[in-house]
Amino acid sequence: MAFTPMHLYFDDVHVDQEWESLGRTVTEADIVNFAGLSGDFNPIHMDHEFAKTTPFRQPIAHGLLVWTVSSGLAINSPPMRTLALLGIRDWDFKGPVFIGDTIRVRSKVLSKESRARGRRGVITWGREILNQEGKVIQAGLTVTLVEGRGAMTSPSTEPKDT
């Protein structure tokens, strides 16, 4: 899929702007499929009887499954011309996600740094994953490389250094 006119450039967002994604309900199928993909068959995720003996009293979703789903939700909140994920920093897992919980992502631009004469830029995002009750269940920083409007200038029209 190519970027569309609705995808924002680095230049289109500003520090302190915030967005909140749509929600997505985590299903038992998500957990089973993630276990198969990752190889993480820990009984806290897979075994209902074992999970009854834990403080959660029921299976919980893998923390990285929740983070991965949130990454997909954040793709459109806002829709950016993202070129790469550069980093994940200071990520905290604050609470469980259960089968049937609905999560959404709150994103805030914390800082911006222009690169390559405006053709690209680095954005540091504050991200919070919330459950259906509005409780923060994961939070931290992500750093992305985003296309800038300088990329719209063709090489033949760029000023020459003298």
**Are the beta carbons of 58 and 48 closer than 8 angstroms?**
yes
- pTM here is 0.88
**Are the beta carbons of 85 and 142 closer than 8 angstroms?**
yes
Separation CA 159–CA 162 (nearest Å): 9
pLDDT tens, the chain, 162 aa long: 689 999 999 999 999 999 999 999 999 999 999 999 999 999 999 999 999 999 999 999 999 999 999 999 999 999 999 999 999 999 999 999 999 999 999 999 999 999 999 999 999 999 999 999 999 999 999 999 999 998 676 555 455 554
CATH topology of domain 10-26+61-150: Thiol Ester Dehydrase; Chain A (3.10.129)
Residues 6+ apart with CB under 8 A from 24: 69, 72, 73, 102, 103, 104
Separation CA 102–CA 100 (nearest Å): 6
**Cα-Cα-Cα-Cα dihedral sign, residues 34, 101, 106, 7:** positive
Task: List the domain boundaries for the chain.
Answer: 10-26+61-150
Residue 69 host element (H or E): helix 63-74
Separation CA 29–CA 7 (nearest Å): 31
